[in-house]
Structure 1
Amino acid sequence: MFQSILVQALSGVSSGMVLFLVASGMTLIFGTLRVANFAHGSFYMIAAYLSFTLTRWVGHGTWGFVVSLVVAPLIVALLGLVVERFLLRRIATRAHQYQLILTYALTLILADAVKMIWGRDNFTVPRPGALDGAFDIFGTPFPSYYALLIVVGAVIAVALHLLLTRTRFGKVLRASVADGQMVGALGIDVPRLYTGVFALGAWLAGLGGALAAPVGSISLGIDSSIIIECFAVVIIGGVGSVGGALLGALIIGVTKSVGILFAPKLAIAFIFIALCAVLVLRPQGLLGRSTA
Protein backbone atom coordinates (compact mmCIF):
# COMPACT_ATOMS: atom_id res chain seq x y z
CA MET A 1 0.00 0.00 0.00
CA PHE A 2 2.85 2.38 0.83
CA GLN A 3 4.43 1.80 -2.58
CA SER A 4 1.16 2.57 -4.35
CA ILE A 5 0.68 5.80 -2.39
CA LEU A 6 4.28 6.86 -3.05
CA VAL A 7 4.06 6.26 -6.80
CA GLN A 8 0.66 7.94 -6.95
CA ALA A 9 2.08 10.94 -5.07
CA LEU A 10 5.00 11.13 -7.52
CA SER A 11 2.48 11.04 -10.36
CA GLY A 12 0.76 13.97 -8.67
CA VAL A 13 4.10 15.79 -8.48
CA SER A 14 4.60 15.30 -12.22
CA SER A 15 1.14 16.66 -13.07
CA GLY A 16 1.71 19.42 -10.53
CA MET A 17 4.89 20.43 -12.35
CA VAL A 18 2.98 20.86 -15.62
CA LEU A 19 0.36 22.87 -13.77
CA PHE A 20 3.16 24.96 -12.22
CA LEU A 21 4.55 25.85 -15.65
CA VAL A 22 1.18 27.17 -16.79
CA ALA A 23 0.26 28.84 -13.48
CA SER A 24 3.66 30.50 -13.07
CA GLY A 25 3.08 32.28 -16.37
CA MET A 26 -0.33 33.43 -15.18
CA THR A 27 0.97 34.67 -11.84
CA LEU A 28 3.83 36.54 -13.54
CA ILE A 29 1.37 38.30 -15.84
CA PHE A 30 -1.08 39.12 -13.09
CA GLY A 31 1.60 40.18 -10.64
CA THR A 32 3.19 42.54 -13.17
CA LEU A 33 0.41 43.75 -15.47
CA ARG A 34 -2.52 43.17 -13.08
CA VAL A 35 -4.30 41.31 -15.87
CA ALA A 36 -6.34 38.20 -15.01
CA ASN A 37 -5.73 36.54 -18.37
CA PHE A 38 -8.58 34.14 -19.10
CA ALA A 39 -6.91 33.33 -22.44
CA HIS A 40 -3.94 31.76 -20.66
CA GLY A 41 -5.55 28.33 -20.90
CA SER A 42 -5.98 28.89 -24.64
CA PHE A 43 -2.21 29.33 -24.98
CA TYR A 44 -1.78 25.95 -23.28
CA MET A 45 -4.32 24.32 -25.58
CA ILE A 46 -2.83 25.79 -28.76
CA ALA A 47 0.64 24.55 -27.79
CA ALA A 48 -0.73 21.03 -27.32
CA TYR A 49 -2.33 21.07 -30.77
CA LEU A 50 0.84 22.52 -32.29
CA SER A 51 2.83 19.69 -30.70
CA PHE A 52 0.55 17.17 -32.37
CA THR A 53 1.05 18.82 -35.77
CA LEU A 54 4.80 19.25 -35.40
CA THR A 55 5.40 15.65 -34.30
CA ARG A 56 3.31 14.44 -37.23
CA TRP A 57 5.38 16.55 -39.66
CA VAL A 58 8.81 15.88 -38.19
CA GLY A 59 8.22 12.37 -36.86
CA HIS A 60 7.16 10.68 -33.66
CA GLY A 61 10.68 9.98 -32.45
CA THR A 62 12.92 11.89 -30.11
CA TRP A 63 13.73 14.52 -32.74
CA GLY A 64 10.06 15.30 -33.34
CA PHE A 65 9.47 15.60 -29.61
CA VAL A 66 12.38 18.01 -29.17
CA VAL A 67 11.24 20.14 -32.13
CA SER A 68 7.70 20.37 -30.74
CA LEU A 69 9.06 21.23 -27.29
CA VAL A 70 11.06 24.13 -28.75
CA VAL A 71 8.86 25.44 -31.55
CA ALA A 72 5.35 25.21 -30.04
CA PRO A 73 6.12 27.38 -26.97
CA LEU A 74 7.90 29.94 -29.18
CA ILE A 75 4.88 30.25 -31.46
CA VAL A 76 2.62 30.68 -28.43
CA ALA A 77 5.01 33.30 -27.00
CA LEU A 78 4.76 35.21 -30.28
CA LEU A 79 0.97 35.00 -30.07
CA GLY A 80 1.13 36.36 -26.52
CA LEU A 81 3.35 39.22 -27.68
CA VAL A 82 0.81 40.17 -30.35
CA VAL A 83 -2.09 39.97 -27.88
CA GLU A 84 -0.39 42.25 -25.36
CA ARG A 85 1.04 44.70 -27.89
CA PHE A 86 -2.03 45.24 -30.04
CA LEU A 87 -4.94 44.45 -27.72
CA LEU A 88 -4.23 44.64 -23.99
CA ARG A 89 -1.94 47.65 -24.20
CA ARG A 90 -4.73 49.69 -25.78
CA ILE A 91 -6.97 49.22 -22.75
CA ALA A 92 -4.25 49.16 -20.08
CA THR A 93 -5.50 52.35 -18.44
CA ARG A 94 -9.14 51.31 -18.36
CA ALA A 95 -10.99 49.44 -15.63
CA HIS A 96 -10.15 45.80 -15.03
CA GLN A 97 -13.56 44.77 -16.32
CA TYR A 98 -12.47 45.66 -19.86
CA GLN A 99 -9.43 43.39 -19.57
CA LEU A 100 -11.54 40.53 -18.24
CA ILE A 101 -14.05 40.90 -21.07
CA LEU A 102 -11.28 41.10 -23.68
CA THR A 103 -9.37 38.06 -22.46
CA TYR A 104 -12.58 36.05 -22.12
CA ALA A 105 -13.54 37.01 -25.67
CA LEU A 106 -10.09 35.82 -26.75
CA THR A 107 -10.78 32.38 -25.28
CA LEU A 108 -13.87 32.09 -27.49
CA ILE A 109 -12.05 33.35 -30.58
CA LEU A 110 -9.05 31.07 -30.07
CA ALA A 111 -11.29 28.07 -29.37
CA ASP A 112 -13.10 28.66 -32.67
CA ALA A 113 -9.75 29.08 -34.44
CA VAL A 114 -8.56 25.74 -33.05
CA LYS A 115 -11.84 24.16 -34.15
CA MET A 116 -11.41 25.54 -37.69
CA ILE A 117 -7.80 24.36 -38.00
CA TRP A 118 -7.85 20.98 -36.24
CA GLY A 119 -11.54 20.14 -36.11
CA ARG A 120 -13.40 18.48 -33.26
CA ASP A 121 -11.44 15.21 -33.17
CA ASN A 122 -9.32 14.20 -30.21
CA PHE A 123 -5.61 13.65 -30.79
CA THR A 124 -2.72 11.99 -29.00
CA VAL A 125 1.01 12.57 -29.19
CA PRO A 126 3.18 9.46 -28.76
CA ARG A 127 5.95 9.63 -26.22
CA PRO A 128 9.48 9.41 -27.63
CA GLY A 129 10.90 5.90 -27.51
CA ALA A 130 13.56 6.78 -24.94
CA LEU A 131 10.84 7.96 -22.52
CA ASP A 132 8.12 5.43 -23.27
CA GLY A 133 9.19 2.94 -20.63
CA ALA A 134 9.14 2.85 -16.85
CA PHE A 135 11.45 2.15 -13.94
CA ASP A 136 10.74 0.52 -10.62
CA ILE A 137 10.23 2.37 -7.34
CA PHE A 138 10.09 -0.21 -4.56
CA GLY A 139 8.84 -2.73 -7.08
CA THR A 140 6.14 -0.45 -8.54
CA PRO A 141 6.63 0.86 -12.12
CA PHE A 142 6.83 4.62 -12.59
CA PRO A 143 6.70 6.08 -16.14
CA SER A 144 9.97 7.60 -17.34
CA TYR A 145 8.09 10.47 -18.98
CA TYR A 146 6.63 11.49 -15.62
CA ALA A 147 10.17 11.69 -14.25
CA LEU A 148 11.05 14.03 -17.14
CA LEU A 149 8.13 16.30 -16.21
CA ILE A 150 9.40 16.53 -12.63
CA VAL A 151 12.94 17.36 -13.76
CA VAL A 152 11.82 19.99 -16.30
CA GLY A 153 9.48 21.61 -13.78
CA ALA A 154 12.24 21.79 -11.17
CA VAL A 155 14.70 23.28 -13.68
CA ILE A 156 12.20 25.94 -14.78
CA ALA A 157 11.40 26.78 -11.14
CA VAL A 158 15.09 27.36 -10.38
CA ALA A 159 15.57 29.31 -13.63
CA LEU A 160 12.61 31.60 -12.84
CA HIS A 161 13.90 32.19 -9.33
CA LEU A 162 17.33 33.17 -10.64
CA LEU A 163 15.79 35.33 -13.38
CA LEU A 164 13.67 37.28 -10.92
CA THR A 165 16.22 37.63 -8.13
CA ARG A 166 19.69 37.62 -9.72
CA THR A 167 19.33 39.46 -13.05
CA ARG A 168 18.84 43.06 -14.05
CA PHE A 169 15.60 42.09 -15.78
CA GLY A 170 14.23 40.73 -12.51
CA LYS A 171 15.27 43.78 -10.53
CA VAL A 172 13.71 46.14 -13.05
CA LEU A 173 10.57 44.01 -13.15
CA ARG A 174 10.17 44.08 -9.38
CA ALA A 175 10.79 47.81 -9.35
CA SER A 176 8.16 48.38 -12.05
CA VAL A 177 5.62 46.46 -9.98
CA ALA A 178 6.35 48.70 -7.01
CA ASP A 179 6.41 51.99 -8.97
CA GLY A 180 6.11 51.82 -12.74
CA GLN A 181 6.13 55.58 -13.20
CA MET A 182 9.43 55.95 -11.38
CA VAL A 183 11.01 53.17 -13.46
CA GLY A 184 9.77 54.89 -16.61
CA ALA A 185 11.24 58.19 -15.43
CA LEU A 186 14.64 56.48 -15.25
CA GLY A 187 14.52 55.86 -18.99
CA ILE A 188 13.32 52.26 -19.01
CA ASP A 189 10.68 51.34 -21.59
CA VAL A 190 8.04 49.96 -19.20
CA PRO A 191 5.48 49.00 -21.90
CA ARG A 192 8.17 47.00 -23.68
CA LEU A 193 9.02 45.32 -20.38
CA TYR A 194 5.38 44.40 -19.87
CA THR A 195 5.22 42.94 -23.38
CA GLY A 196 8.24 40.79 -22.59
CA VAL A 197 6.65 39.55 -19.37
CA PHE A 198 3.42 38.66 -21.16
CA ALA A 199 5.36 36.80 -23.86
CA LEU A 200 7.31 34.94 -21.15
CA GLY A 201 4.07 33.98 -19.42
CA ALA A 202 2.63 32.74 -22.72
CA TRP A 203 5.84 30.78 -23.37
CA LEU A 204 5.50 29.05 -20.00
CA ALA A 205 1.89 28.13 -20.82
CA GLY A 206 3.06 26.85 -24.20
CA LEU A 207 5.81 24.76 -22.61
CA GLY A 208 3.26 23.24 -20.25
CA GLY A 209 0.96 22.41 -23.17
CA ALA A 210 3.77 20.85 -25.21
CA LEU A 211 4.90 18.72 -22.25
CA ALA A 212 1.34 17.66 -21.40
CA ALA A 213 0.52 16.62 -24.97
CA PRO A 214 2.02 13.09 -24.69
CA VAL A 215 0.32 12.48 -21.32
CA GLY A 216 -3.37 12.60 -22.23
CA SER A 217 -5.84 13.36 -24.97
CA ILE A 218 -5.70 16.68 -26.82
CA SER A 219 -9.23 17.99 -27.25
CA LEU A 220 -11.38 21.09 -27.21
CA GLY A 221 -12.07 22.12 -23.64
CA ILE A 222 -8.66 21.43 -22.11
CA ASP A 223 -8.21 25.20 -21.95
CA SER A 224 -11.17 25.52 -19.58
CA SER A 225 -10.02 22.74 -17.25
CA ILE A 226 -6.44 24.04 -16.98
CA ILE A 227 -7.48 27.67 -16.40
CA ILE A 228 -9.69 26.68 -13.45
CA GLU A 229 -6.80 24.80 -11.85
CA CYS A 230 -4.45 27.72 -12.59
CA PHE A 231 -6.68 30.18 -10.76
CA ALA A 232 -6.80 27.75 -7.84
CA VAL A 233 -2.99 27.54 -7.84
CA VAL A 234 -2.59 31.32 -7.91
CA ILE A 235 -5.05 31.77 -5.04
CA ILE A 236 -3.55 28.97 -2.92
CA GLY A 237 0.06 29.99 -3.52
CA GLY A 238 -0.43 33.75 -3.41
CA VAL A 239 -0.97 36.24 -6.23
CA GLY A 240 2.27 37.23 -7.92
CA SER A 241 4.43 34.63 -6.14
CA VAL A 242 6.25 32.15 -8.39
CA GLY A 243 7.26 30.14 -5.32
CA GLY A 244 3.63 30.15 -4.27
CA ALA A 245 2.64 28.90 -7.73
CA LEU A 246 5.04 25.96 -7.33
CA LEU A 247 3.73 25.15 -3.85
CA GLY A 248 0.09 25.52 -4.90
CA ALA A 249 0.58 23.37 -8.02
CA LEU A 250 2.23 20.60 -6.03
CA ILE A 251 -0.53 20.69 -3.42
CA ILE A 252 -3.21 20.40 -6.08
CA GLY A 253 -1.35 17.76 -8.09
CA VAL A 254 -0.60 15.50 -5.14
CA THR A 255 -4.00 16.01 -3.48
CA LYS A 256 -5.84 15.18 -6.67
CA SER A 257 -3.64 12.19 -7.51
CA VAL A 258 -3.62 10.60 -4.06
CA GLY A 259 -7.30 11.42 -3.56
CA ILE A 260 -8.15 9.18 -6.51
CA LEU A 261 -6.89 6.19 -4.51
CA PHE A 262 -9.22 6.77 -1.58
CA ALA A 263 -12.23 8.61 -3.04
CA PRO A 264 -12.22 8.63 -6.86
CA LYS A 265 -15.55 10.43 -7.11
CA LEU A 266 -14.27 13.27 -4.91
CA ALA A 267 -10.87 13.70 -6.57
CA ILE A 268 -11.81 17.00 -8.20
CA ALA A 269 -13.56 18.19 -5.05
CA PHE A 270 -10.30 17.91 -3.09
CA ILE A 271 -8.90 20.80 -5.14
CA PHE A 272 -11.71 23.11 -4.11
CA ILE A 273 -11.61 21.91 -0.51
CA ALA A 274 -7.95 22.95 -0.38
CA LEU A 275 -8.84 26.24 -2.06
CA CYS A 276 -11.61 27.01 0.43
CA ALA A 277 -9.35 26.14 3.36
CA VAL A 278 -6.68 28.59 2.19
CA LEU A 279 -9.24 31.34 1.54
CA VAL A 280 -10.58 30.97 5.07
CA LEU A 281 -7.30 30.55 6.95
CA ARG A 282 -4.91 32.66 4.84
CA PRO A 283 -6.74 34.79 2.23
CA GLN A 284 -3.50 36.23 0.75
CA GLY A 285 -2.28 32.72 -0.11
CA LEU A 286 0.36 30.51 1.46
CA LEU A 287 3.30 32.58 0.20
CA GLY A 288 1.44 35.78 -0.66
CA ARG A 289 1.86 39.07 1.11
CA SER A 290 -0.95 40.55 3.13
CA THR A 291 -2.28 43.86 1.85
CA ALA A 292 -3.71 44.79 5.22
Structure 2
Amino acid sequence: MTAFFTALLNSLDIGLLLFVIAVGLNIVFGVLNVINFAHGALYMIGAYLGFSLIAMLGWPFWAALIVAPLGVAALAVVLDRLVLRFIYGREITDSLLLTFALLLVLNESVRMIWGSGIHVVEPPALLAGTLELPGGVLYPVYNLFVIGVGLTMLAGLWALFNRSRVGRIMRAASLDPDMAKALGINTRLVVTGAFAFGAWLAAVGGVVAAPMRAIDPGMGDKIIIESFIVVVIGGLGSFPGALIGALVLGAIHAFGGRYFPEVNMVLPFIGMALVLLVKPNGLMGKGAA
Protein backbone atom coordinates (compact mmCIF):
# COMPACT_ATOMS: atom_id res chain seq x y z
CA MET A 1 0.00 0.00 0.00
CA THR A 2 2.89 2.34 0.78
CA ALA A 3 4.39 1.72 -2.67
CA PHE A 4 1.03 2.44 -4.33
CA PHE A 5 0.60 5.71 -2.40
CA THR A 6 4.13 6.79 -3.32
CA ALA A 7 3.44 6.01 -6.99
CA LEU A 8 0.21 8.01 -6.78
CA LEU A 9 2.07 11.03 -5.40
CA ASN A 10 4.71 10.62 -8.11
CA SER A 11 1.99 10.59 -10.75
CA LEU A 12 0.61 13.88 -9.39
CA ASP A 13 4.10 15.36 -9.19
CA ILE A 14 4.96 14.44 -12.78
CA GLY A 15 1.49 15.10 -14.15
CA LEU A 16 0.98 18.56 -12.67
CA LEU A 17 4.43 19.71 -13.76
CA LEU A 18 3.68 18.46 -17.28
CA PHE A 19 0.35 20.30 -17.13
CA VAL A 20 2.05 23.63 -16.39
CA ILE A 21 4.33 23.14 -19.39
CA ALA A 22 1.87 21.57 -21.85
CA VAL A 23 -0.98 23.99 -21.15
CA GLY A 24 1.24 26.77 -22.51
CA LEU A 25 1.56 24.79 -25.74
CA ASN A 26 -2.22 24.43 -25.86
CA ILE A 27 -2.81 28.14 -25.22
CA VAL A 28 -0.49 29.11 -28.08
CA PHE A 29 -2.29 26.72 -30.43
CA GLY A 30 -5.73 27.82 -29.27
CA VAL A 31 -5.10 31.55 -29.78
CA LEU A 32 -2.50 31.58 -32.57
CA ASN A 33 -3.30 28.30 -34.37
CA VAL A 34 0.44 27.60 -34.21
CA ILE A 35 1.98 24.31 -33.13
CA ASN A 36 5.10 25.59 -31.38
CA PHE A 37 8.00 23.12 -31.62
CA ALA A 38 10.19 25.70 -29.85
CA HIS A 39 8.10 25.43 -26.66
CA GLY A 40 10.53 22.87 -25.23
CA ALA A 41 13.46 25.19 -25.91
CA LEU A 42 11.72 27.97 -23.94
CA TYR A 43 11.28 25.53 -21.05
CA MET A 44 15.00 24.73 -21.29
CA ILE A 45 16.00 28.40 -21.34
CA GLY A 46 13.87 28.97 -18.23
CA ALA A 47 15.82 26.22 -16.46
CA TYR A 48 19.17 27.64 -17.61
CA LEU A 49 18.25 31.18 -16.56
CA GLY A 50 17.16 29.84 -13.18
CA PHE A 51 20.48 27.99 -12.87
CA SER A 52 22.43 31.14 -13.77
CA LEU A 53 20.59 33.29 -11.24
CA ILE A 54 20.79 30.72 -8.43
CA ALA A 55 24.13 28.94 -8.88
CA MET A 56 26.18 31.60 -10.67
CA LEU A 57 24.83 34.90 -9.28
CA GLY A 58 23.74 33.62 -5.87
CA TRP A 59 20.12 34.73 -6.12
CA PRO A 60 17.57 32.96 -3.91
CA PHE A 61 15.44 30.33 -5.61
CA TRP A 62 12.26 32.36 -5.08
CA ALA A 63 13.68 35.39 -6.89
CA ALA A 64 14.81 33.19 -9.79
CA LEU A 65 11.34 31.64 -9.97
CA ILE A 66 9.94 35.12 -10.59
CA VAL A 67 12.63 36.69 -12.77
CA ALA A 68 13.64 33.81 -15.07
CA PRO A 69 10.12 33.21 -16.50
CA LEU A 70 9.73 36.95 -17.07
CA GLY A 71 13.00 36.93 -19.01
CA VAL A 72 11.75 34.06 -21.19
CA ALA A 73 8.43 35.87 -21.74
CA ALA A 74 10.40 38.95 -22.89
CA LEU A 75 12.37 36.72 -25.29
CA ALA A 76 9.07 35.36 -26.60
CA VAL A 77 7.85 38.88 -27.36
CA VAL A 78 11.02 39.52 -29.37
CA LEU A 79 10.61 36.23 -31.26
CA ASP A 80 6.97 37.05 -31.96
CA ARG A 81 7.80 40.48 -33.34
CA LEU A 82 10.82 39.46 -35.39
CA VAL A 83 9.96 35.96 -36.59
CA LEU A 84 6.58 34.42 -35.81
CA ARG A 85 4.35 37.28 -36.98
CA PHE A 86 5.12 36.34 -40.57
CA ILE A 87 3.40 32.95 -40.33
CA TYR A 88 0.19 33.92 -38.48
CA GLY A 89 -2.84 33.06 -40.58
CA ARG A 90 -0.89 30.78 -42.89
CA GLU A 91 -0.98 26.99 -43.22
CA ILE A 92 -0.16 25.14 -40.00
CA THR A 93 2.72 23.37 -41.76
CA ASP A 94 4.46 26.75 -42.05
CA SER A 95 4.38 27.14 -38.29
CA LEU A 96 5.72 23.60 -37.84
CA LEU A 97 8.70 24.29 -40.08
CA LEU A 98 9.46 27.72 -38.66
CA THR A 99 9.20 26.75 -34.99
CA PHE A 100 11.29 23.61 -35.62
CA ALA A 101 13.99 25.83 -37.13
CA LEU A 102 13.63 28.14 -34.13
CA LEU A 103 14.08 25.13 -31.84
CA LEU A 104 17.40 24.30 -33.53
CA VAL A 105 18.59 27.90 -33.26
CA LEU A 106 17.70 28.15 -29.58
CA ASN A 107 19.30 24.78 -28.80
CA GLU A 108 22.59 25.83 -30.40
CA SER A 109 22.41 29.23 -28.69
CA VAL A 110 22.13 27.48 -25.31
CA ARG A 111 25.18 25.33 -26.13
CA MET A 112 27.16 28.42 -27.10
CA ILE A 113 26.26 30.32 -23.92
CA TRP A 114 26.20 27.59 -21.25
CA GLY A 115 28.15 24.77 -22.91
CA SER A 116 27.18 21.13 -23.36
CA GLY A 117 27.77 20.00 -19.78
CA ILE A 118 25.19 19.01 -17.20
CA HIS A 119 24.24 21.48 -14.47
CA VAL A 120 22.47 20.89 -11.16
CA VAL A 121 20.39 23.22 -9.00
CA GLU A 122 19.88 22.45 -5.32
CA PRO A 123 16.38 22.95 -3.89
CA PRO A 124 16.01 25.81 -1.40
CA ALA A 125 16.73 24.95 2.23
CA LEU A 126 13.07 25.40 3.12
CA LEU A 127 12.11 22.62 0.71
CA ALA A 128 15.02 20.23 1.29
CA GLY A 129 14.65 16.81 2.91
CA THR A 130 11.65 14.52 3.23
CA LEU A 131 8.35 14.65 5.07
CA GLU A 132 6.61 11.73 6.73
CA LEU A 133 3.05 11.46 5.48
CA PRO A 134 0.19 9.40 6.96
CA GLY A 135 0.89 5.70 6.62
CA GLY A 136 4.61 6.15 7.21
CA VAL A 137 5.32 7.30 3.65
CA LEU A 138 8.47 9.41 3.34
CA TYR A 139 8.21 11.85 0.45
CA PRO A 140 10.51 14.68 -0.69
CA VAL A 141 9.31 18.08 0.44
CA TYR A 142 10.29 19.63 -2.88
CA ASN A 143 8.10 17.19 -4.82
CA LEU A 144 5.16 18.20 -2.62
CA PHE A 145 6.00 21.81 -3.47
CA VAL A 146 5.83 20.93 -7.19
CA ILE A 147 2.37 19.43 -6.65
CA GLY A 148 1.35 22.64 -4.86
CA VAL A 149 2.67 24.78 -7.72
CA GLY A 150 0.72 22.70 -10.24
CA LEU A 151 -2.52 22.98 -8.28
CA THR A 152 -2.02 26.73 -7.82
CA MET A 153 -1.41 27.22 -11.54
CA LEU A 154 -4.46 25.09 -12.33
CA ALA A 155 -6.67 27.25 -10.12
CA GLY A 156 -5.15 30.46 -11.46
CA LEU A 157 -5.56 29.46 -15.10
CA TRP A 158 -9.16 28.35 -14.53
CA ALA A 159 -9.93 31.73 -12.94
CA LEU A 160 -8.13 33.55 -15.75
CA PHE A 161 -10.09 31.91 -18.56
CA ASN A 162 -13.47 31.69 -16.83
CA ARG A 163 -13.65 34.65 -14.45
CA SER A 164 -11.53 37.45 -15.92
CA ARG A 165 -11.92 39.95 -18.75
CA VAL A 166 -8.46 39.08 -20.08
CA GLY A 167 -9.45 35.44 -20.37
CA ARG A 168 -12.67 36.30 -22.20
CA ILE A 169 -10.74 38.48 -24.64
CA MET A 170 -8.27 35.66 -25.33
CA ARG A 171 -11.10 33.21 -25.90
CA ALA A 172 -12.90 35.64 -28.20
CA ALA A 173 -9.74 36.28 -30.22
CA SER A 174 -9.16 32.54 -30.61
CA LEU A 175 -12.75 31.70 -31.61
CA ASP A 176 -13.36 34.54 -34.10
CA PRO A 177 -10.45 36.98 -34.55
CA ASP A 178 -12.27 39.02 -37.21
CA MET A 179 -15.29 39.62 -35.00
CA ALA A 180 -13.03 40.39 -32.03
CA LYS A 181 -11.20 42.97 -34.12
CA ALA A 182 -14.52 44.49 -35.22
CA LEU A 183 -15.47 44.84 -31.54
CA GLY A 184 -12.34 46.90 -30.91
CA ILE A 185 -10.09 44.20 -29.48
CA ASN A 186 -6.43 44.61 -30.37
CA THR A 187 -5.96 41.08 -31.67
CA ARG A 188 -2.29 41.71 -32.50
CA LEU A 189 -1.62 42.50 -28.85
CA VAL A 190 -3.63 39.45 -27.77
CA VAL A 191 -1.57 37.20 -30.04
CA THR A 192 1.73 38.55 -28.70
CA GLY A 193 0.46 38.30 -25.14
CA ALA A 194 -0.71 34.71 -25.63
CA PHE A 195 2.65 33.63 -27.05
CA ALA A 196 4.52 35.36 -24.21
CA PHE A 197 2.17 33.81 -21.65
CA GLY A 198 2.72 30.34 -23.08
CA ALA A 199 6.48 30.91 -22.93
CA TRP A 200 6.16 32.14 -19.33
CA LEU A 201 4.37 28.93 -18.36
CA ALA A 202 7.06 26.83 -20.04
CA ALA A 203 9.77 28.74 -18.18
CA VAL A 204 7.99 28.38 -14.84
CA GLY A 205 8.02 24.64 -15.49
CA GLY A 206 11.73 24.83 -16.33
CA VAL A 207 12.70 26.64 -13.12
CA VAL A 208 10.52 24.38 -10.98
CA ALA A 209 11.94 21.26 -12.66
CA ALA A 210 15.58 22.41 -12.31
CA PRO A 211 16.16 21.03 -8.78
CA MET A 212 14.69 17.65 -9.80
CA ARG A 213 16.19 17.10 -13.26
CA ALA A 214 19.63 17.55 -14.74
CA ILE A 215 19.90 20.72 -16.81
CA ASP A 216 21.40 19.95 -20.21
CA PRO A 217 20.94 21.14 -23.81
CA GLY A 218 18.74 18.15 -24.65
CA MET A 219 16.14 18.68 -21.93
CA GLY A 220 13.91 20.76 -24.18
CA ASP A 221 13.70 18.00 -26.78
CA LYS A 222 12.57 15.51 -24.15
CA ILE A 223 9.88 17.75 -22.70
CA ILE A 224 8.41 18.78 -26.06
CA ILE A 225 7.83 15.10 -26.89
CA GLU A 226 6.04 14.61 -23.56
CA SER A 227 4.07 17.83 -24.04
CA PHE A 228 2.86 16.69 -27.46
CA ILE A 229 1.82 13.35 -25.97
CA VAL A 230 -0.15 15.28 -23.33
CA VAL A 231 -1.99 17.44 -25.87
CA VAL A 232 -2.64 14.50 -28.20
CA ILE A 233 -4.14 12.47 -25.35
CA GLY A 234 -6.14 15.39 -23.97
CA GLY A 235 -7.03 17.14 -27.21
CA LEU A 236 -5.16 19.91 -29.01
CA GLY A 237 -6.38 23.34 -27.88
CA SER A 238 -8.37 22.04 -24.88
CA PHE A 239 -7.57 23.39 -21.41
CA PRO A 240 -9.31 20.52 -19.55
CA GLY A 241 -7.68 18.16 -22.02
CA ALA A 242 -4.22 19.42 -21.07
CA LEU A 243 -4.94 18.59 -17.43
CA ILE A 244 -6.38 15.15 -18.17
CA GLY A 245 -3.60 14.31 -20.62
CA ALA A 246 -0.90 15.41 -18.15
CA LEU A 247 -2.41 13.38 -15.31
CA VAL A 248 -2.74 10.32 -17.57
CA LEU A 249 0.88 10.62 -18.69
CA GLY A 250 2.00 11.22 -15.11
CA ALA A 251 0.24 8.04 -14.02
CA ILE A 252 1.80 6.10 -16.90
CA HIS A 253 5.28 7.28 -15.89
CA ALA A 254 4.81 6.73 -12.15
CA PHE A 255 3.01 3.39 -12.12
CA GLY A 256 4.78 2.10 -15.24
CA GLY A 257 8.17 2.90 -13.77
CA ARG A 258 7.30 1.06 -10.55
CA TYR A 259 5.42 -1.95 -11.86
CA PHE A 260 6.56 -2.29 -15.51
CA PRO A 261 10.10 -0.86 -15.62
CA GLU A 262 11.12 -3.02 -18.60
CA VAL A 263 8.64 -1.32 -20.94
CA ASN A 264 8.25 2.03 -19.20
CA MET A 265 9.90 3.93 -22.08
CA VAL A 266 7.27 2.86 -24.59
CA LEU A 267 4.20 3.00 -22.34
CA PRO A 268 3.46 6.71 -23.06
CA PHE A 269 3.38 6.01 -26.80
CA ILE A 270 1.20 2.94 -26.29
CA GLY A 271 -1.19 5.02 -24.17
CA MET A 272 -1.29 7.75 -26.83
CA ALA A 273 -1.98 5.20 -29.57
CA LEU A 274 -4.82 3.63 -27.58
CA VAL A 275 -6.44 7.03 -27.03
CA LEU A 276 -6.16 7.90 -30.73
CA LEU A 277 -7.78 4.62 -31.69
CA VAL A 278 -10.83 5.44 -29.56
CA LYS A 279 -10.81 9.27 -29.72
CA PRO A 280 -8.88 10.53 -32.77
CA ASN A 281 -9.26 14.13 -31.56
CA GLY A 282 -8.14 13.35 -28.02
CA LEU A 283 -10.22 12.84 -24.91
CA MET A 284 -11.40 16.47 -24.78
CA GLY A 285 -10.53 17.73 -28.25
CA LYS A 286 -12.86 19.27 -30.78
CA GLY A 287 -15.06 16.61 -32.22
CA ALA A 288 -14.59 14.33 -29.21
CA ALA A 289 -17.82 12.84 -28.03
Superposition TM-score tier, normalisation by shorter sequence: over 0.9
User: What secondary structure, in the 3-state scheme, does the structure 2 residue paired with 1:239 have?
Assistant: coil
1 CA distance for matches of 2:286 and 2:104? 33
Where 2:60 maps in the other structure, the secondary structure is: helix
Aligned length: 288
What is the match of residue 41 of structure 1?
Answer: 40
Contact map agreement 1:257 1:267 (CA 8 A) in 2: no
In 2, Cα distance between equivalents of 1:260 and 1:15:
12
- Are 1:103 and 2:108 matched, yes or no? no
- Structure 2: how far apart are the matches of 1:175 and 1:140? 46
Gaps of at least 5 residues in structure 1 are none
- Residue 68 of structure 1, CA deviation: 1.2
> What is the aligned partner in structure 2 of residue 121 from structure 1?
117
Matched, 1:199 2:196: yes
In the alignment, which of 236, 242, 262 is matched to residue 239 of structure 2? 242
Question: How far apart, in 2, do the equivalents of 1:248 and 1:291 lie?
Answer: 14
1:223 alignment partner AA: G
Shift of 1:58: 4.2
Displacement of 1:32 after TM fit? Answer: 1.1
Which of 257, 267, 283 pairs up with 1:260? Answer: 257
- Aligned residue in 2 for 1:149: 146
Determine helix, strand or coil for the equivalent of 1:268.
coil
Q: Deviations over 1:143-192 (max 9, x none)?
A: 00010011110110111111111111111221222211011011111011
- Give the whole-Å Cα distance in 2 for the aligned partners of 1:259 and 1:96: 34
CA contact (8 A) 1:78 1:199 kept: yes
Partner residue of 1:51? 50
TM-score computed with the length of structure 2 as normaliser: 0.96
CA distance in 1, matches of 2:211, 2:238: 29
Query: Is the 8 Å Cα contact of residues 77 and 203 (structure 1) preserved in structure 2?
Result: yes
Q: What are the ranges of 5 or more consecutive residues in structure 2 without an aligned counterpart?
A: none
Say if 1:58 and 1:64, in contact at 8 Å, map to a contact too: no
Identity %, equivalent residues: 42
**2:8, 2:254 within 8 Å by CA — same for their partners in 1?**
yes
1:69 Cα deviation after fit? 0.5
Equivalent residue, structure 2, for 1:30: 29
Matched, 1:185 2:182: yes
CA distance in 2: counterparts of 1:196 and 1:183, whole angstroms: 15
Indicate the SS of the match to 1:136: strand
Alignment partners' CA distance in 1, 2:283 and 2:89: 30
Letter of the structure 1 residue corresponding to residue 12 of structure 2: V
Shift of 1:141: 0.9
Segment of structure 1 superposing worse, 259-268 or 69-78: 259-268
Q: CA-atom RMSD, angstroms?
A: 1.3
| Structure 1 partner of 2:10 | 11
Q: Does 1:208 align with 2:205?
A: yes
Q: TM-score, normalised by structure 1?
A: 0.95
Distance 1:91 1:282 in 2: 30
Contact kept, 8 Å, 1:236 with 1:275, in 2: the verdict is yes
2:287 equivalent to 1:281 = no
Q: 2:64 aligns with which of 62, 65, 68?
A: 68
Separation of aligned partners in 1, 2:143 and 2:188: 38
